Structure 1
Amino acid sequence: MSTKLYWEYVLAQQSNQWRSPVESLLLSNANGVATLTINRPAQRNAITLEMWRSLAEITARLDQDSSVRVVVVSGAGDEAFSAGGDISEFSEKRRDPWQAKIHNGRVELALKSLARLSKPTIAMVKGYCVGGGCMLAAHCDLRISADNALFGMPVAQLNTLVGYRELQRFVHLIGLGATLDLLLTARMIKASEAQSIGLCSQVYPLADIDNHVAELTSRMVNLAPLAQRWRKQMVQTLLRKPDLLDLTPEEGMLPDAIYDTEDYAEGVAAFLGKRAPVFRGK
């Protein structure tokens, strides 16, 4: 499907009646894995402004839930992870600079909350992953893609701009050249190309991706949650302070502080005792 036909299809679908935010974002938690599903398959899982607001609240709740070790973000069905923001509401809720500032602020807050979530996050991408949907996936730690995935940032076709923070995320993730390629050409790229530029790390056949993600998360839930949280914190610090010259005392001590934790003692004891460790995040 061409980019033009894609946008025509999306706009037509998004004009239909949309679900309430509660119905449009489904959250489940089983065996330490929380799954957040964007549930608007008829609209290719386009995200409304209210859904962006709810996303920030949901991620904040997940961050405080000690039973959650890994978070998976997905789209309902096999046709789309997310087609991006719901264009059908732009003329009402994004019609001038002041409304756009409010709208963009809610999107940015949701993406920032997702990126700062202390648990590992995985975007399981099937089908279209475009615009705001692509930004959502980019703010997860890992992106695992089905072979039918299509990625794109065709915002130039709407005469809109990606915000500074979101632009920074893409440059950090895939580099300046690949970021400009996506934005200036407004083209869609297949999963294989997305993997080659670092936009996704693994690609599986559509029929197999659910099993592969389930296997991966079942392994990850048994890893040390404290080390996972602090590792993510260190990466964020590195991105903010790449020269490492202005680290706070707490930031500088973090790699060594792990050795004064119960989970470190448990990890060593389990290895020497040839048993599986039981980590408690302490």
Structure 2
Amino acid sequence: MTTRITDSHCHLDFPDFDDCREEVIQNALDAGVHRMVTICTKTVNEPKVRAIAEAHDPIFYAYGIHPMSAADQPLVSVDDLVRVAQHPKMVGIGETGLDYHYTADSAAIQQTSLRTHIEAAQETGLPLIIHARAADDDMARILTEGYRTKPYTCVMHCFSSSPELARAALDLGFYLSMSGIATFPKSQEVRDIFAAAPLDRILVETDSPYLAPPPYRGKRNEPGYVVHTAQKGAEVFGLSYEDFAKATEANFDRLFAKAAAWSPESVA
């Protein structure tokens, strides 16, 4: 029996999959990827993302505004996030966060948006999904300030930031998600950060259609390829693939408890 694993972060609504979405989903299932969380990055995309989750039992979704889009559209409200969170297959808040690499000029708007998402995570009990790039100090500060106001859960998606931000997140009880970046030959620092983290705080993801791991690097990524990232994760932790997959499954179930508890019968 194929070992089961979850792709905790992908973008199945993106145009890259418009001509092959059903095939890509079936490829994932054939590889043992029995669950996928497809992530909404703009409010206007929510209906499409939701429809994909509604049409496929193994697919869940998250809702939020990507930091690089925060300045391009009206900011989402806490009430809107909470409303959408009532959907039985909406299981996470985000992705949100800070990205100063490309969009530092909108830092203030990004921070406002991030705080809104934090408040929604606090109110709903759903995990916050964080994108962090070139903003480590502000990210650690805002996440910590929010947590001290009221605890919440969180995953640092596609983690490739500093050891200091990793430690700040882990100290708050948050999770780190390993993407294809961790498989790249020049990413030893990223692998070292994961190796130093507790195994019970690790998730795996593709962030597809981006960041395909070898042997697909440079090509379009898809959820089925998360097994290659997990194989590297198993190597980092000195485990068999089966044991590493089992650990990340338990971690996903703990963090994304709403997804873990869902069944088709629950909404019949």
TM-score past 0.5 threshold: no
Which has the greater radius of gyration?
1
Of the two structures, which has the highest relative contact order with CA contacts closer than 8 Å and spacing of 6 or more? 2
TM-score interval, normalised by the smaller of the two chains: 0.3 to 0.5
Q: Give TM-score scaled by structure 2 length.
A: 0.36
Q: Give TM-score scaled by structure 1 length.
A: 0.35
